[in-house]
Amino acid sequence: MARYLYLPLEITIREHDGKVMLALQAAREGWSVVMGTRVALYNAADQLPEGVFLLKSATSQELPQVKHLKNCGHKVCIFDEEGIVTYREFIQNEVRYSREIDAEVEQLYFWGDNQKKLFDEKFSALPAQTFTTGSPRLEFWQHHAQSVYRQKAEEIRNRYKDYILFPTSFGIGNNFLGKNQGLKLTRDHGAVEEKNIVDFMEGQADQNYICFKEYLDFLPEIAERFPEFNFVIRPHPSENSSAWESISRNHTNVHVVYEDAVTPWIIGALGVIHFKSTTSIEAALLGKPVLTYMPLLPEYMKKFRLELPLSVSKVAASRSEFLSLLEEIQLGNASPGSIKDNKEFNKWVSISPEKSSAERIISLLNRLVVSTSRKLGPVEKRIHIQARDWAERFLCYLNQFDRLAHFFPRKLKRNPARISYGKHKIRGLQLENTQRTVDCICSNYGEPASDYHLSQIAEEIFTLERTKN
């Protein structure tokens, strides 16, 4: 019986490589895998053969989509892509997970035992099964990133020579959609009402904004102190890049670039600067020096620290300490981020010597049975979906005119920046990039890439199947 696995991507260039790892393992075990942007797959859910959708998160905002998938005959499982760098309070207070959604899903997978334990303590009464599986993204970084991105990393080095990478993470304090929108989006995403969690979010937003301003003020001093380095700033997909660009206009060794996956930029860098970012884990696994500056803050803000990113980083509590850490890179004395024998890392990340995380996830998916009545074929873009898209664009256009928008009822209100924001997050899904990643991973495994067939069945939707048993 044919089995279909659907892998929707939200932030494409962040999720793509881990999803390809998972897709290859699924295809190896007889699944037909369909990979595409989240919107494209959700819109086509009633045309696609009944199967299993593996989603990247389970916040309350996504309940209508989950119910839609189930109404179309699909089963739903969850792997929290971003749950490794988050707060215990968010795991246990229905910020990252929704009780309503978790009651609808079959299985939930976690990066490590700590994340699973915190979830189980809060949601033990729910029917969904929970498993520690590790992450395919992590194993891609460990085993395949260097070969997949070797050429791209060389191109970047040729362009920027000796550079320090700074992938920013100030999406709350410096949001793409404007002031205070980062906090609003975070609250809306989890439909949070409990006062203690709202207070926690507001405090965390204050910390994010304070640190954003401190980094923004400190960066020109860093650039002037180390003129022999280029500093490549990669704004988070949720950030407004204009503040960083204003610095680059006044400093020739500061560059603001958001291009392709972050992985080749890490590989090419002399070191990585971060602030509470998952990129710190990736950089440490790729053997790069990982630095973070945690300025002195009010005592009550200590609870907003994230121990996992700090545990793999060299941490500076002052500007002078941070400049000293950069001097170590300048002198070639900097050591890579700490992973080996890192107790905090091992609490949050599971690595099995016997089975890869992709193997563990697919072995669990193999337990599920889904009856299929539809066939896989070209996906049609329906008139009503196109019309809805046009209507949304038109409403966004009209909402640009404040005097006109003032008279609109609430259901016609739109934030015109949201279309740009959505496009910013999903860009980067290209068939040739996916094929190159498949080819390289197969080569690393000593497996012919010709055993797999990758094809495009609609705009932003690909299929991967094994052609040789």
pLDDT digits (tens, 9 = 90+) for 240-280: 889 999 999 999 999 999 888 899 999 999 999 999 999 99
Which strands, in side-by-side order, build the sheet including 314-316? 254-256, 230-234, 163-167, 271-274, 290-293, 314-316
**Helix residue ranges per DSSP H, 401-454:** 402-405, 417-426, 431-444
Strands 107-110 and 75-79: parallel
User: Do 213 and 204 touch, CB atoms closer than 8 A?
Assistant: no
Q: Could you tell me if 236 and 364 lie in one domain?
A: no
Cα(307)–Cα(350) distance, rounded to whole angstroms? 17
Q: Could you tell me if 363 and 457 lie in one domain?
A: yes
pLDDT digits (tens, 9 = 90+) for 54-70: 998 877 778 889 999 99
Q: Provide the pLDDT for residue 399.
A: 72
User: Do 26 and 5 touch, CB atoms closer than 8 A?
Assistant: yes
CATH at residue 158: 3.40.50.2000
Q: How many domains does the chain have?
A: 2
User: Has residue 389 been placed in a domain?
Assistant: no
Answer whether 0.85 is exceeded by the pTM: yes
Q: Which residues are 35's β-sheet partners?
A: 7, 462
What is the three-class DSSP state of 286?
coil
Q: Could you tell me if 56 and 176 lie in one domain?
A: no
User: Has residue 45 been placed in a domain?
Assistant: yes
Q: Could you tell me if 327 and 356 lie in one domain?
A: no
Q: What count of residues does the chain have?
A: 469
User: Has residue 54 been placed in a domain?
Assistant: yes
What is the three-class DSSP state of 110?
strand
Confidence of residue 435 (pLDDT cuts 50, 70, 90): very high
What is the three-class DSSP state of 353?
coil
What is the three-class DSSP state of 447?
coil
Q: Is the pLDDT of residue 329 over 60?
A: yes
Cα angle 412, 11, 218 (rounded to 5 degrees) comes to 100
Q: Is the pLDDT of residue 164 over 80?
A: yes
Give the structural domain span for 195: 148-340
Q: Could you tell me if 34 and 129 lie in one domain?
A: yes
Q: Which of 224-233, 336-345, 422-431 has the lowest mean pLDDT?
A: 422-431
How many CA within 13 A on the CB side of residue 254? 24
Confidence of residue 397 (pLDDT cuts 50, 70, 90): low
Q: Which residues are 332's β-sheet partners?
A: none
Q: Which pair of tokens denotes residue 384?
A: 């009503």
Q: Which pair of tokens denotes residue 16?
A: 């793509």
Q: Which amino acid is at 14?
A: R
Q: Could you tell me if 277 and 152 lie in one domain?
A: yes
Q: Provide the pLDDT for residue 302.
A: 87
Cα(286)–Cα(266) distance, rounded to whole angstroms? 8
Cα(354)–Cα(374) distance, rounded to whole angstroms? 37
Q: Which pair of tokens denotes residue 447?
A: 């497996």
Domain end among 321, 340, 359? 340
Q: Could you tell me if 66 and 33 lie in one domain?
A: yes
User: Has residue 388 been placed in a domain?
Assistant: no
User: Has residue 421 been placed in a domain?
Assistant: no
Q: What is the DSSP letter of 338?
A: P
Q: Once rounded to an integer, what is the mean pLDDT over residues 287-294?
A: 96
User: Has residue 420 been placed in a domain?
Assistant: no
Q: 47: Cβ–Cβ under 8 A, 6 or more apart, which residues?
A: 374, 379, 380
Q: Is the pLDDT of residue 383 over 60?
A: no
Q: Could you tell me if 282 and 357 lie in one domain?
A: no
User: Has residue 370 been placed in a domain?
Assistant: yes
User: Do 318 and 96 touch, CB atoms closer than 8 A?
Assistant: no
Q: Could you tell me if 199 and 69 lie in one domain?
A: no
Top pLDDT among 439 and 237 is at 439
Q: Which pair of tokens denotes residue 31?
A: 């699944």
Cα(424)–Cα(147) distance, rounded to whole angstroms? 27
Q: What is the DSSP letter of 234?
A: E
Cα(329)–Cα(157) distance, rounded to whole angstroms? 16
Q: Could you tell me if 319 and 373 lie in one domain?
A: no
CB burial of residue 78 (10 Å; 0-12, 13-18, 19+): buried
Confidence of residue 424 (pLDDT cuts 50, 70, 90): very low
Domain end among 289, 306, 340? 340
What is the three-class DSSP state of 70?
helix
Q: Could you tell me if 116 and 62 lie in one domain?
A: yes
What is the three-class DSSP state of 231?
strand
Q: Which residues are 453's β-sheet partners?
A: 465
Q: Could you tell me if 66 and 176 lie in one domain?
A: no
Burial 33-70 (b: 16+ CB within 10 A, else e): bbbbbbbbbbbbbebbbbbbbbbbbbbbebeebbeebe
Helix H or strand E segment including 36:
strand 31-37
CATH at residue 433: 3.40.50
Count of CB atoms situated within 10 Å of the CB of 174: 26
User: Has residue 270 been placed in a domain?
Assistant: yes
Q: What is the DSSP letter of 256?
A: E
Domain end among 282, 310, 340? 340
Q: Which residues are 108's β-sheet partners?
A: 78, 130
Cα(229)–Cα(243) distance, rounded to whole angstroms? 21
